[in-house]
Amino acid sequence: MRSYIHINWRDFMRGKDEFWERYYKNLVNFTKWACLLLQREAALKLKPWNPETGEGGLDRGTLRRSITFDVKTTKETIEGKVGPTVKYAKFVEFGTRPHFIPFSHPLIGFEIYLWAKRHKLPVDNMWGLNISGRPHPFMTPAWNENKEKIFEQLKKIAKL
């Protein structure tokens, strides 16, 4: 699950080749800045799991550490991608339907068992865990709260 900032500057600045050549480096730096901003804000949105309320999508910090960005450039485009690299990120962001995971599950049962034990749940009397499936969004709010700031900066660059 990656969020994209894809800007085809050649289409946006059709007929303004001098602008493209003069400000290309600024536009690359702007894209890097926007990606770093979103990366930081998304990481800050991840709150530690609270057993009393069931809120928070962060357990050991793997998801937070996996949020990275990449900026790729060609002669005609500058593309920034921001997002987590772990496979379960989409389930944290968007949630799942409530479900039961037995400790005997061949793929993730042992991980669920270790999670329950780490959080001091009475695993000796349990067969598995009921998962609520509630979403804990972090990428979408990071974008929604910062898109105006990003577009304002873009307008400043375009006026140069």
First CA to last CA across the chain, in angstroms? 34
**Residue among 121, 128, 120 at smallest CA distance from 103:** 128
Domain boundaries, the chain: 3-85+137-159, 97-132
CATH assignment, 3-85+137-159: 3.30.300
Question: Alpha-carbon distance 83 to 157, whole Å?
Answer: 25
Query: What is d(CA 92, CA 58) in angstroms, rounded to the nearest whole number?
Result: 9
Tokens of 2: 């990656």
- The listed range with the strongest mean pLDDT (1-5, 74-78, 83-87) is 83-87
What proportions of the chain, in percent to the nearest 5, are helix, strand and coil?
50, 15, 35
The pLDDT confidence band at residue 104, using thresholds 50, 70 and 90, is: very high
Residue 41: pLDDT band (50, 70, 90) is: very high
What phi and psi values does residue 84 have, to the nearest 5 degrees? Answer: -80, 155
Angle of helix 139-159 relative to helix 17-45, nearest 10 degrees, comes to 150
Residue pair 20/12 in contact (Cβ under 8 Å)? The answer is no
**Res. 5: pLDDT tops 60:** no
pLDDT at 128: 92
